[in-house]
Amino acid sequence: MGVEVMDRRANENLYLHRDFHRALNAAVRYVHEHHGEDAVRSWLRDFARAWYAPLREALMRGDLDCLRQHIERTYGIEGVAVKVRQGPDALTVEVPGCPAEAYIRACGEDVAGLFFETTRTVNEAICEGTPYRSEFRGYDPATGAATQTFRRGPP
Amino acid sequence: MISCTEFIPAYSELFRALQRLGGRKAVEEFWNCLSDRFLTNLRELVSEHGLRGCWLYWSRTLNEEAADFTMELDEEQGLFRIRMHHCPSKGRLLEADHFLPYPDYCRHCDVLYRRVLEPLGFTYDIDLSNCDRAACTLTVRGPAKPHPAEGGGNPPGDAT
């Protein structure tokens, strides 16, 4: 038998561990069951405000391109092409299906009832304190498809 | 959607949120629950393959996470070890100047895996003394498996 050794450097692989979607799904379910809906939204809001602070700063300057690039990158890395319409004051993103939800289902697990908040609440938090407001419409719980709109305007 | 490449900061912020809601106890309870519900694949692999199950489990996860590591399996000595030279998760948290990681972030790796492996009869140790540099060493020990050539290779339950 002897000793088996696996030696890897970070640049030998692509960082794409889709099981993290399952872990996020489990976390959303856990917080919902043990601490309630508001706790789920509060956690996701705090996360988004902190982690996406550089993106929020760009939005405060009116840089909608930065948000479009972020969304295209988020879905693109998982192989999903989103349909984007961008005007001077608005960005609309049509997501044909959520790759995170698709992965969770492919693993034989149910998508948590509040999993969509990982998009809706996160988008709202990214827009907080910026000239933009987000909308999350047409969510299809069977596929995760939805339309996300970011529009300059009052709350 | 939170990309799977941005899960780690969401995870870190979850620990902080749980601590606010119920103190350390709430964080520990979540880790215990996640271990029980989520690490079923590690539990199944180790139940079926023994120490090799650790090798099979972490071969996949660490490569998908693009970790910088050296992993060793010595079934004759009953030893499995991961030397994490640069943890992709903690590394990302440390690299983000604008984000404050949960102070005890790395301890989830102690709780989650220990809770799976020790009830299966293995000893589990993780050295987190260098986790502020995104480095750690995880060691799992189990019964030595004699080399077949030494006459000790009969599988369990085989009386021949």
CATH code, B73: 3.30.1380.20
In chain B, the residue whose alpha carbon lies closest to the alpha carbon of A116 is B1
Angstroms from A107 CA to nearest CA on chain B: 11
The pLDDT score that the predictor gives to residue B153 is 42
CB contact under 8 A, A47 and B66: no
Q: What is the pLDDT of residues A34-91, one digit of tens each?
A: 999 999 999 999 999 999 999 999 999 999 999 999 999 999 999 999 999 999 999 9
Nearest by CB to residue A22, choosing from B2, B33, B38, is B38
The pLDDT score that the predictor gives to residue B158 is 35
Which among A42, A43, A74, A116 is the top mutation candidate for probing chain B, defined by the most B β-carbons within 10 Å of its own β-carbon?
A43
Average pLDDT over residues B68-82: 97
- Identify whether B16 is part of a domain: yes
pLDDT at B88 over 70: yes
- Identify whether B87 is part of a domain: yes
Q: Which CATH class is domain A17-152?
A: alpha beta
User: What is the predicted ipTM?
Assistant: 0.95
Nearest by CB to residue A4, choosing from B9, B66, B72, is B72
Chain B residues closer than 8 Å to A3 by CB = 72-74
Do residues B127 and B102 lie in contact, with contact meaning Cβ atoms separated by under 8 Å? no
Residue whose C-alpha is closest to residue A56's, from A128, A117, A148, A119: A128
Q: Hey, where are the domains in chain A? A: 17-152
CB contact under 8 A, B73 and A4: yes
Q: How far apart are the first and last CA of chain B?
A: 57
Q: How many domains are there within chain B? A: 1
Q: What is the pLDDT of residues A37-49, one digit of tens each?
A: 999 999 999 999 9
Do residues B19 and B31 lie in contact, with contact meaning Cβ atoms separated by under 8 Å? no
Query: CB-based contact (8 Å) between B69 and chain A?
Result: yes
- Identify whether B63 is part of a domain: yes
Mean of pLDDT over chain A: 96
- Identify whether B72 is part of a domain: yes
